[in-house]
């Protein structure tokens, strides 16, 4: 296809590798670079970009030029694009104050609860128009539950949610008691045991 410059809004953990997602500079559409047509995660090398100092993992808010081979939409992840073998390049970064320009306002985050029944997606009863959102939430709380799982509870549009967190900085945010803006990049994950789970990919 061609090179696309996107603003990275997530480089989260997926199968100990990377799930990267970003928006085009004009904010009109999302791009989730994947390693195969089935939506495979990126390995450590594929999720790196070059800047004047060397080759590093991409980070949220970086502006990165990415080579995309083709659109490989899935019914639960329509934003998937297969990467080509070109090197990613960083072109500056988005100032934190500009995040608000990319916020979205869906009525809900794929309904209530922490998952979507994949059979409903396959049958067309639940149509996934997009599987990524950048939203401002209320009452955000980060914690580790009794099963040692990283979780985030919050409310959005008067709906309460408690979702799994795949942001690799979760532990650091907790340890440093970092003040959060209450802005989340949320993603609908791959099908797992009949459901697609809703994930907090990045905490801003």
pLDDT tens digit at each of 204 positions of the chain: 689 999 999 999 998 999 999 999 988 899 999 999 999 999 999 999 999 999 999 999 999 999 999 999 999 999 999 999 999 999 999 999 999 999 999 999 999 999 999 999 999 999 999 999 999 999 999 999 999 999 999 999 999 999 999 999 999 999 999 999 999 999 999 999 999 999 999 999
Write the DSSP assignment of 59-113 as a string of letters.
-TTEEEEEEEEEE---SS-TTEEEE-SSPEEEEEE--GGGGGGG----SSSSSSS
Residues 80 and 111 in one domain: no
Q: Which domain holds residue 20?
A: 2-99
Distance CA 176, CA 138 (A): 21
Domain end (from 84, 99, 114): 99
Residues 80, 143, single domain; the answer is no
The total domain count for the chain is 2
Whether residues 107 and 192 share a domain: the answer is yes
Yes or no: say if 76 and 197 are a contact pair by the CB < 8 Å rule.
no
pLDDT for position 111: 97
**3-class DSSP assignment, residue 192:** strand
Together in a domain, 9 and 95? yes
Last residue of one domain, picked from the residues 99, 115, 142: 99
Q: What pLDDT, on the 0 to 100 scale, is given for residue 15?
A: 87
Tell whether 82 and 141 lie within a shared domain.
no
N-to-C CA span, the chain: 32
pTM above threshold 0.75: yes
82 and 45 together in one domain:
yes
Those residues whose C-beta lies under 8 Å from the C-beta of residue 59, and which sit 6 or more positions away, are: 8, 11
pLDDT computed for residue 1 by the predictor? 64
């Amino acid at each position: 296809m061609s090179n696309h410059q996107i603003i990275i809004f997530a480089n989260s953990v997926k199968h100990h590798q990377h799930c990267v997602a970003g928006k085009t500079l004009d904010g009109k559409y999302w791009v989730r670079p994947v390693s195969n047509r089935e939506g495979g995660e990126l390995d450590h090398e594929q999720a790196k970009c070059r800047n004047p100092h060397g080759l590093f993992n991409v980070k949220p808010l970086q502006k990165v030029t990415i080579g995309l081979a083709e659109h490989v939409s899935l019914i639960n992840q329509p934003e998937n694009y297969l990467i080509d073998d070109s090197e990613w390049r960083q072109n500056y970064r988005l100032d934190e104050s500009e995040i608000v320009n990319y916020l979205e306002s869906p009525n809900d985050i794929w309904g209530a609860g922490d998952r979507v029944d994949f059979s409903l997606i396959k049958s067309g009863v639940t149509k996934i128009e997009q599987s990524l959102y950048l939203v401002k939430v209320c009452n955000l709380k980060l914690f580790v539950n009794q099963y040692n799982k990283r979780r985030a509870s919050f409310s959005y549009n008067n709906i309460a949610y408690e979702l799994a967190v795949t942001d690799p900085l979760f532990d650091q945010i907790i340890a440093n008691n970092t003040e959060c803006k209450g802005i989340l990049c949320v993603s609908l994950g791959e099908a797992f045991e009949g459901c697609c789970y809703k994930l907090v990919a990045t905490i801003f």
